[in-house]
Amino acid sequence: MNITELFIRRPITTTLIMMSFLLFGIAGYQLLPVSDLPTGSGYLCLCGYYHAGRYRKEKCYYEDRFCVGCSKE
C-alpha cells in the first residue's frame, strides 16, 4: 500500500490531518516575531554632494518627500 492509496481509502483521516496542518499553520503564523514600525517623523537617507573636489556623504531624514538636514541638496 503506497501513501496515496492510504489517503484515498481513508478520507476522514485525510481531513483530520489537513485540519491539523491548518491549525498548526495558523498557530505558527501568530507566533512569528514581527518588528515594530520605526519611530520618528521621516525616513533615514544618505545624501551626497561634491564639495571642494571631494564627494561627501551625510545622513539625513526625508520628511514629506524632501531631504531635511543635509547641508547641500
Q: Are 33 and 53 in contact (CB under 8 A)?
A: no
Residue range 25-41, pLDDT digits in tens: 999 999 998 877 666 65
**pLDDT class for 21, splitting at 50, 70, 90?**
very high
> What proportions of the chain, in percent to the nearest 5, are helix, strand and coil?
35, 30, 35
**Rounded CA separation 55/29 (Å):** 46
* Dihedral sign, Cα of residue 39, residue 43, residue 45, residue 51: negative
pLDDT > 70: percent of the chain: 55
**Rounded CA separation 60/40 (Å):** 12
- pTM of the full predicted structure? 0.45
Confidence at residue 63, expressed as pLDDT on a 0 to 100 scale: 59
